[in-house]
A and B are shown apart, each in its own frame.
Chain A
């Protein structure tokens, strides 16, 4: 029998996440479902960051931009749906919408397009410059949304209700939770397939030795850009879900500290595993929830934990749990 933890741990994780609403019902703590919806959505964003960071060595410090772009796509569509005003005054038939079947794909598409443009420019740089340029782009979007007074500026805007879906009542917190969990499970499965496929091998190769990759005949830039775009698209999906969870959209979603938190989740959980960041997001939010009850300076406790992980568990929590103790 296969007893490799690498194989069963993700399944246990999925089962545990699936059991959250049940535990919430048993302990009569409905807030638990809301917390874990947050966990699941941030895990989705962190997993997409791990895809480019852990496999492609693209240290993007602006990943929250895509979260924000996805959220604002949903928020702006809902805003126009609520007011009845067309999206563009010149095109009166182009109205807002509250239908998730339109808003979610659109959020993904807009985030992907932005990622394509940002990536096309940023990926011409390396190392520290890449970190700085992705951060700069995220800040640009941050201030763009602050400047958009029509959509609430720095205060953000409220959605009257969640986007609607046929068959699923998104207003019900448990149904919405399972919807988010399905997106997470689907995305994690997809990303795991991709990193093991030819595309992922090229991505890993380029991270390790770019010069060699070019000499072998790979147009490395193209593969990196495709990966960056896919990560941005999934980030956009996470943002769209976050907007729906909170029924509120504000620039704080794409503040640079949000990008930093996503990176902390990835490193805490384990770089280059896709599963790790899910664990990292869970731990991060749990710590935040429990410690923030004592002190608002809960980062004082997270800090040392992060240092210990970086020093003693280079592959993060997931790497430590699945480390084979033999030989």
Chain B
């Protein structure tokens, strides 16, 4: 079996009476797009939180690129090559679009205990920021205030920020949420193009996107992994049909 870039074993987290994640075993192979789906309350957000380091893990472990990162703080995981986007758009709305990305570049360009040179004139930071913006098709908006962008553009900006540090794994938490059809199609196209550059773990409700982009899909229900397989295998699974997709299609 190919070495997994990210692998979890027995990953669990309980909130009071709710077992949000329950012995989750996940293997994300390098170079793939791996989606995690499941109904609301299945524990997807908890899983992302545990992987990113914001939610402490009760039991089990997380191994990323061969290192155990189960107890590593958020910022150290980022430096290990784990980047993420948030379910609720999380940008610096008071900064310009370019400065948002420049800040992300800065996070991976040595320490920031630099007190003298003007950051907005640092060529190295700006050039990389512009390149990332161009990559997500936001090149023309660089000078605008980030808070003024349209919802879809903010999502693109988040992606640019996540990509700025050259991550090995991108954790995307419902990137399509709240998108209009046209915006959504553009973002799906962007995700498709990113697939060749970086390994992606995608949590998403939009089944069209999940099934058309994913190499592997893991179905999570009540915090437990029900099945992991290719989109075809998931579609063919009676278990999933009954527990999840059928219920969904009825809505």
Contact = CB atoms under 8 A, between A and B. Distances in A.
B112 A218 contact: yes
A197 B118 CA distance: 4
A220 B95 CA distance: 18
A205 B91 CA distance: 10
Interface of A: 190, 193-194, 196-202, 204-205, 208-209, 211-212, 214-220, 223, 226
A-side binding surface: helix, strand, loop or mixed?
helix
Contact of A199 (B84, B94, B104, B114): B114
Name the residue among A200, A202, A220 with the largest chain B CB count within 10 angstroms.
A202
B123 interface: no
Counting chain B CB atoms within 10 Å of each CB, the highest count among A194, A201, A209, A214 belongs to A201
Interface residues of B, number: 35
Interface string B88-117: 001111110001001110111000111111
Contact of B90 (A193, A197, A211, A223): A211
B119 A211 contact: no
A218 B74 CA distance: 9
B114 A216 contact: no
Contacts of A216: 75, 78, 103-104, 107, 161, 165
A197 B117 contact: yes
Given A201-B119, A209-B91, A212-B91, 16 more contacts: A193-B115, A194-B115, A198-B117, A199-B112, A202-B103, A202-B106, A208-B93, A208-B94, A212-B90, A212-B92, A215-B86, A216-B75, A216-B78, A216-B165, A217-B78, A218-B75
B52 interface: yes
B62 to A, nearest CB: 16
B79 A199 contact: no
Chain A CB count within 10 A is highest, among B78, B115, B165, for B115
Contact of B99 (A201, A215, A217, A218): A201
B93 A193 contact: no
A208 B92 contact: yes
A246 B113 CA distance: 36
10 contacts: A190-B115, A198-B122, A205-B103, A208-B93, A212-B90, A214-B73, A215-B74, A215-B75, A216-B161, A217-B107
